């Protein structure tokens, strides 16, 4: 039985293309003192992604390479990693876009390393669930779509895909575990935007904390790396505007007093 895609037409191919790219992949197993790099050569086609290449390494060269992925189309957020020192989703990062040099692949930073490219997301969810679960919002992803009669508009689940790239890119998360962090604060801002059943007041109070909205130092790196346009830094600044104006109002006797 032939493969569903002829090798010559497979734009994601990892063999038979003649163009070889070196990968320096971070390796770590439980018990290791610290990670080290291991090099692999992978042949790439014009649209081979980093995830294609890593799965090819695992399949053809080294079955001990541990990585995590699911959907292959930037929806699930599980293949977040650092490629050439920038946080990306490996499934939508094409190798040919990275220049000709060796491709450095690390797990996302500031999380507990489980093995190779896999980190434990427990810290992420600890912060994320501190606020409230995210809600739904109007979709601006497909403006051309026709809305069926009787439906006010399409909605999609909250933009955040919980990949953890923002925590990896944030300089403050790099040193201080107490900071609530970009993802959690962006979720808080969503609750305030669209409270539904949630208690927006207590969420706002939660963010008015030296370890929450006021801890951000405006590097905006979370927003720069976010693959889903959540704009966590912008969300934090809007939280602060709300908190600052409430503070000013409380001076004049109206609004919320802390």
- Could you list the residues that contact another protein (CB under 8 A)? 30, 68, 82, 84-86, 109-114, 118-120, 122-123, 125-127, 129-132, 169, 171-178, 180, 184, 199, 202, 205-206, 208-221, 223-224, 233-234, 237-244, 247, 258
Check if the beta carbon of residue 44 is closer than 8 Å to that of residue 19: yes
* Residue 202: CB minimum distance to another protein, A: 6
* Residue 100: CB minimum distance to another protein, A: 17
Give me the residue label for tokens 């060796």. Answer: 102
Shorter beta-carbon distance to another protein: residue 144 or 251: 251
Q: What single string gives the DSSP state of each residue in 90-135?
A: GGG-BGGGG-SSPEEEEPPSSSEEEETTEEETHHHHHHHHHH----
* Residue 121: CB minimum distance to another protein, A: 8
* Residue 179: CB minimum distance to another protein, A: 8
Shorter beta-carbon distance to another protein: residue 40 or 220: 220
The DSSP bridge partners found for residue 22 are 41
* Residue 78: CB minimum distance to another protein, A: 9
Cβ contacts of 26 within 8 Å, gap of 6 or more: 35, 36, 37, 105, 106, 107, 116, 117
Shorter beta-carbon distance to another protein: residue 154 or 214: 214
Give me the residue label for tokens 């979720």. Answer: 187
Beta strand 20-27 with 103-106 is parallel
Shorter beta-carbon distance to another protein: residue 91 or 180: 180
Shorter beta-carbon distance to another protein: residue 51 or 204: 204
């Amino acid at each position: 039985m032939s493969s569903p895609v002829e090798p010559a037409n497979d734009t994601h191919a990892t063999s038979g293309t003649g163009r070889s790219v070196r990968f320096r992949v971070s390796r770590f197993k439980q018990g290791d003192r610290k990670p080290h790099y291991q090099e692999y050569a992978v042949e790439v086609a014009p649209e081979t992604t980093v995830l294609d290449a890593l799965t090819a390494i695992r399949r053809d060269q080294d079955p001990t390479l541990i990585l995590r992925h699911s959907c292959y189309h930037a929806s699930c957020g599980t293949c977040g990693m650092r490629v050439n020192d920038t946080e990306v989703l490996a499934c939508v990062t094409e190798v040919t876009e990275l220049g000709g040099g060796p491709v450095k692949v690390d797990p996302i930073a500031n999380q507990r390393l489980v093995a190779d490219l896999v980190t434990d997301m427990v810290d992420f969810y600890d912060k994320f669930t501190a606020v409230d679960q995210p809600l739904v919002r109007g979709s601006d992803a497909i403006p051309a779509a026709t809305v069926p009669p009787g439906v006010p508009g399409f909605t999609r689940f909250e933009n955040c895909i919980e990949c953890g790239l923002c925590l990896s890119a944030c300089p403050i998360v790099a040193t201080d575990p107490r900071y609530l962090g970009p993802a959690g604060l962006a979720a808080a801002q969503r609750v305030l935007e669209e409270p539904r059943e949630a208690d927006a007041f207590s969420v706002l109070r939660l963010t008015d904390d030296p370890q929450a909205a006021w801890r951000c130092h405006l590097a905006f790196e979370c927003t720069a790396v976010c693959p889903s346009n959540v704009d966590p830094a912008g969300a934090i600044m809007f939280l602060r505007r709300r908190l600052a104006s409430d503070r000013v109002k409380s001076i004049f006797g109206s609004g919320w007093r802390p």
